[in-house]
Amino acid sequence: MATPADIAASDVRDAHEIRHWDREADVVVVGFGCAGACAAIEAAEAGAETLVLERAGGGGGTSALAGGLIYLGGGTPVQEACGYHDTVEGMFTFLMAACGPSPDEAKVRVFCEQSVAHFHWLEAHGVPFKRSYYPEPSMEPPTDDCLVYSGGEDAYPFDALTPPVPRAHKPQTPNAAGGFLMQRLIAATEKAGATVLCDARAETLVVERDGRVVGVVMRHDGREHLVRARRGVVLTAGGFVQNDAMLQRHSPLLQRCNYRLGVDGDDGRAIRMAMGAGADLSRMHAGEVAVPITPPRRLVRGILVTPAGQRFINEDAYYGRVGQEGLFRHGGRMFMIFDTAIYERNLAGFETHFVEETIADLERVAGFPDGSLQRTVELYNRHAANGEDPLFHKHRQYLQPLVQAPFAAIDCSTDKVIWATFTLGGLRTNPASEVLRPDGQIIPGLYAAGRTTNGIAAEGYVSGISLGDGTFFGRAAGRNAAASRE
Amino acid sequence: MATPADIAASDVRDAHEIRHWDREADVVVVGFGCAGACAAIEAAEAGAETLVLERAGGGGGTSALAGGLIYLGGGTPVQEACGYHDTVEGMFTFLMAACGPSPDEAKVRVFCEQSVAHFHWLEAHGVPFKRSYYPEPSMEPPTDDCLVYSGGEDAYPFDALTPPVPRAHKPQTPNAAGGFLMQRLIAATEKAGATVLCDARAETLVVERDGRVVGVVMRHDGREHLVRARRGVVLTAGGFVQNDAMLQRHSPLLQRCNYRLGVDGDDGRAIRMAMGAGADLSRMHAGEVAVPITPPRRLVRGILVTPAGQRFINEDAYYGRVGQEGLFRHGGRMFMIFDTAIYERNLAGFETHFVEETIADLERVAGFPDGSLQRTVELYNRHAANGEDPLFHKHRQYLQPLVQAPFAAIDCSTDKVIWATFTLGGLRTNPASEVLRPDGQIIPGLYAAGRTTNGIAAEGYVSGISLGDGTFFGRAAGRNAAASRE
């Protein structure tokens, strides 16, 4: 069990007790991932003296480990060049449906309305996007191509709500682009004139008696430093996927996932610091859960079944949706079933666990209840032969009867293949990235963005939304902090 | 949309601004349901001058509307008289599994260890229990019998963890016993010497500058009264199922349920009052969701299927578990399928929506995908004929092939039959019923119990646990408040 200190709100430091500040800036940004970089750029460009505190030895954070997809839409130049007609309303409708139940409508609205402008801002700050589309969805292209489907926009149930359009934009570099994105944003941060201090761990907020946040206490060079923030503190220091005690408290099922997407710093410290200053929390049980079955996309022509031998989802759904359904609804236990015509080793290297000449043998050997998998495959095949999936609505182009022996099963349970997770819950903020109290009032001087907050992806998830809302609301945090006055 | 005031923390009143108290007591209890009554009894019996404030015209609250089951175990006199051997460890094992994921272990532990003593306390305070068992589970017996299974103790997956024992104890009166229970507890409250003031709505906590809660502001007789609490305030004023804005914020899916189990006062006011004093919240997304399919128990010989024609649970599971799975995992859409040998009108009056001579016809008319229900019934029947359910582990005695025409379906979706809900999330408290801050520290002078708190049923639910933990932790709240000193 965790010690209480790992879960609890941090104490705050009373500003009245401070006689001497070791350092001062207008805006102090805690954490140097994508949200922190964008906050610092905006603050510095607005003329604020800006200091970024990064606890690691260099900038990047979990953003640099990411695939690099950024969720943008409403008619970006890349979408238009590739022949996709997107609208603000279409993007809004999709995100409200995919990120729910009931994501923060005001935040989703502004995120969609200003998305094209945000695209241009990123390009103007050194993040290039090739005007090209890549057909394999959900993951970053191995090429330097840009646009991909990343949230099941073209799959049930979302394609029935609004015309499907790809919206994940990868910066122009081959393979994973998170590191590249952060190189560019770090360069832009320096160019904007912000000061970056690494190996500097913010630990405590300094708060006036009236509740205004006016600085941070941080550790650097082996000792405590008091850093005054004349206009505001911006918390952009990641989520809490590396904090077992917080996971146990808020979202125990996530602990079953065997791959935690996050740097060491994702220990929830910034969330706990803000709690100490009275911040409200939102959707702390929510988590991204990805089972990277695809690419290649052809694998969704197989079927996913529970240990009871039943299908439970359209297999062409975004694999993050598959993961959330698999974990939260089926306890992290599922199998993929293929025939030889469909099978191919996937990119994550999943191996078949069972290969048999008949479905009946596969059913028996893999331990499904007698007759269960046979009936599931029989029914699936019958409808697939007609190009239909009346149970789960997989699209016609992925419907292919499983008929060519041998047949195979991959045990996709949490103890067998990659289940990747990070947390989605965090501080409750408004569209201006101001941190809110439980009474809905803002905490003066305190801003936050990225996975320190509960963002656009309130509970559901789509690839690209973390870099998307991290950069977008990071900018708002920096801009509004710079415009704030004591 | 709700106004922010309906969601937000209440302001608190600064004790230093108060020159004159309208009224004083040692312990002030807010809310007069089962938790409030038990708190008041303990406080008054400990010698504390005790005042109960009830916003309605009389005591009872949602407790009086309840069936009256009280979850007690570990070897109560009723269990022993009926030949059931229960242990503290068995009760603990069951509750940790059924009320999770990860209920508060310390609270579950003390609840189990002191359960037999709590039984005797209830009897000593006028709540009689007949030494008898009633075989129809989950609901209060129509007779004055006492002991029932109420949480699927005898069903998969719990019966494999610990020997099944019935633990819900109904006070000795026919039919629903919540009103009877509250009559007895109200009488005991008066006998203990507590003062009860009805039509008195507590609105605001009064807090010292150091954070200690020292009173409440309440409305009574058309005006505001300042009530000093010399030793402590106990909040036992129900959950928030009647507050649409709070449901929308914290647990939007619960809004699909068409039957809200709660009096008007379950508007979350006490939770918001405590938030204003800095209280932490726990599991605000959790809710009890019951689809009262049974009694009669014979109906679980039918099968429950999703709109895709698939079974999803052992039908002999507790119907609150069926409801939670049905709502949170399947969006509140499911059907019951019977044959003529099994069908019977259930107690809640559910009517068949479709009756056909063959399963194939039923499948078509009720709108299931072609072949889906046929295969499900065929597989179920084949195993049921052998007394087996390898998919979902329904018990042998409820396995009866569906073969006798005509066949029927009841559409059990949220818009067709009763889905009853109340909230399980609330204030975070420790086993002493002290209200905690986000940093894990207690708020001096503030106690809470019942559905104002997140209790034993952290997320999962069993019938009888609300009156069980309400009475148990209500007592702790009253006892500890009485023992507190300014």
HEC string of A417-478? CCCEEEECCEECECCCCEEECCCCCEEEEEEECHHHECCCCCCCCCCCHHHHHHHHHHHHHH
Q: What is the pLDDT of residue B449?
A: 98
| pLDDT > 50? residue B1 | no
pLDDT digits (tens, 9 = 90+) for A230-288: 999 999 999 999 999 999 989 999 999 999 999 999 999 999 999 999 999 999 999 99
Query: Rounded distance, CA B261 to CA B384, Å?
Result: 36
Is the bond into B157 cis (omega within 30 degrees of 0)? yes
Nearest CA distance, B369 vs chain A (angstrom): 6
Hey, are the CB atoms on B7 and A440 less than 8 Å from each other? yes
- At residue B294 the predicted structure's pLDDT band, cuts being 50, 70 and 90, is confident
- Does domain A1-287+425-486 match CATH 3.50.50.60? yes
CB contact under 8 A, B438 and A392: no
Which pLDDT band holds residue B2 (cuts at 50, 70, 90)? very low
What value does the mean pLDDT take over residues A315-319? 95
* pLDDT tops 90 at residue A55: yes
What integer pLDDT is reported at residue A160 of this predicted model? Answer: 92
Residue B130 C-alpha, separation from nearest chain A C-alpha, in angstroms: 40
Phi, psi dihedrals of residue A260, rounded to the nearest 5°: -100, 115
- pLDDT digit string, tens, across residues B148-201: 999 999 999 999 999 999 999 999 999 999 999 999 999 999 999 999 999 999
Q: Choose the closest CB to B4 out of A276, A370, A440.
A: A440
Q: Compare all CA atoms of chain B with the CA of A245 and give the residue at the minimum distance.
A: B102
Q: Give which of A204, A370, A380 to mutate to test B binding, by max B Cβ within 10 Å.
A: A370
Average pLDDT over residues B273-289: 94
A485 pLDDT band, cuts 50/70/90, is confident
- In angstroms, the first-to-last Cα distance of chain B is 42
ipTM of the modeled complex: 0.86
pLDDT surpasses 60 at A403: yes
What distance in Å separates the CA atoms of residue B41 and residue B22, rounded to the nearest whole number?
Answer: 23
* pLDDT at residue number A8: 75
Residue type, B386: N
Best residue in B6, B285, B303, B443 for a mutation probing chain A (most A CBs within 10 Å): B285
Cβ neighbours of A437 in B, within 8 Å? 9
Q: What is the pTM of this model?
A: 0.90
Please, which pLDDT band fits residue B7 given cuts at 50, 70 and 90? confident
pLDDT in tens, B89-112: 999 999 999 999 899 999 999 999
Per-residue pLDDT of A128-187, as tens digits, reads 999 999 998 878 999 999 999 999 999 999 999 999 999 999 999 999 999 999 999 999
Is there a contact between A372 and B378 if contact means CB atoms under 8 Å apart? Answer: no
In degrees rounded to 5, what are phi and psi of residue A323? -65, -45
Q: What is the pLDDT of residue A486?
A: 55
Q: What CA–CA distance (Å, rounded) separates A455 from A453?
A: 6
Q: Is the pLDDT of residue B5 over 70?
A: no
pLDDT of residue B310: 98
Contact call for A383 and B370, based on CB within 8 A: yes
The answer to whether residue B3 scores a pLDDT higher than 50 is no
At residue B24, the 3 state secondary structure works out as: strand
Structure tokens at A142: 């191995």
Contact present, A311 and A376 (Cβ < 8 Å): yes
Q: Cβ of B372 and A390 within 8 Å?
A: yes
Candidate CATH numbers 3.40.50.620, 3.40.50.300, 3.40.470.10, 3.50.50.60; the one for domain B1-286+423-486: 3.50.50.60
User: What is the residue whose two structure tokens read 């949480």?
Assistant: B151
**Closest residue of chain A to B253, computed from CA coordinates:** A101
Structure tokens at B261: 């189990």
**Domain definitions of chain B by residue range:** 1-286+423-486, 292-411
Residues 6+ apart with CB under 8 A from A19: none
- A100: nearest CA in chain B? B252
Please, which pLDDT band fits residue A1 given cuts at 50, 70 and 90? very low
Give the mean pLDDT of A82-107.
96
What is the arithmetic mean of pLDDT over B228-251? 95
Residue A258: C-alpha distances to residues A249, A255, B171, B293 (Å): 18, 8, 48, 39
Neighboring chain A residues of B375 at a CB cutoff of 8 Å? 375-376, 378-379
Place of tokens 């077992």: A244
For residue A337, give the DSSP letter. E
pLDDT at B345: 84
Average the pLDDT over A201-206 and give the result. Answer: 96
DSSP H/E element including B339: strand B335-339
CATH architecture of B292-411: Alpha-Beta Complex (3.90)
Q: Is A148 helix (H, G, I), strand (E, B) or coil?
A: strand
pLDDT above 60 (res A4) = no
pLDDT band, very low/low/confident/very high, at B462 (cuts 50, 70, 90): very high
| pLDDT attached to residue A387 | 97
- Cis peptide preceding A390, ω within 30 of 0: no
Using CA atoms, how far residue A188 sits from A195, A237, B151, B405, in Å, is 12, 19, 59, 74
- Provide the pLDDT for residue B486: 55
